[in-house]
A = this chain, B = another copy of it.
Amino acid sequence: MRLPGIGPKTAQRLAFYVLTMEEDDVLDLSKALVRAKRDLHQCSLCGNITDQDPCYICSDKGRDRSVICVVQDTKDLMAMERTREYNGLYHVLHGAISPIEGVGPEDLRIPDLLKRLEDETVQELILATNPNIEGEATAMYLSRLIKPFGLKVTRIAHGLPVGGDLEYADEVTLTKALEGRREV
């Protein structure tokens, strides 16, 4: 019940299911839990969750090391990876600037990012924080901080989601889609 999204009934169902499982499977599950907690940690370069250091993305020689995509969360990194369109590196901030929740720039992995920009041959930084208030504030903060480094700073596009409908789009998204129109 202390796990997220597990209420009393689901907890009971899961507990009873464990009783019907093979002993080996239960042992495997128990070991997997301990191993996940013990072996997984943040990549010292990009902040991705990994069992090796640097992570499989940072140590992949086939990746384009001139681009870094900045995301808020490891889940966002996974979403970007699922597109199979991006072949650069990542930097996971582990959060976004949010005065309401008391999260400031000093709580994010920004110093690590600045260090990477000095060390590596980065030419473009893609700001892929979420398109909401916190994400935009973080993108704004980062772009001001990093522009003096003289590298290209880009922001992912705002607009209509593919498969959507103009009629049901909210005003702000439609305005952004109009502002961001491109010549065809």
Contacts and interface: CB of A to CB of B under 8 A. Distances in A.
A15 to B, nearest CB: 29
Contacts of A122: none
Interface string A56-93: 00000000000000011101101110111110000000
A84 B178 CA distance: 11
A184 B71 contact: no
Interface string A106-143: 00000000000000000000111111100000010001
A169 B135 CA distance: 15
A137 B129 CA distance: 31
How many copies of this chain? 2
A124 to B, nearest CB: 9
Interface string A149-184: 000111111111111111111111111111111111
B131 A160 contact: yes
**Interface-central residue, A166, A167, A177, by most chain B CB under 10 Å:** A166
A167 B83 contact: no
A72 B169 CA distance: 14
Contacts of A85: 175, 178-179
A158 B159 contact: yes
A164 B76 contact: no
Contacts of A86: 178
A182 B184 contact: no
Contacts of A152: 183
B184 A154 contact: yes
A162 B173 contact: yes
A141 to B, nearest CB: 11
Contacts of A166: 71-73, 75-76, 79-80, 128-130
Interface of A: 71-73, 75-76, 78-80, 82-86, 126-132, 139, 143, 152-184
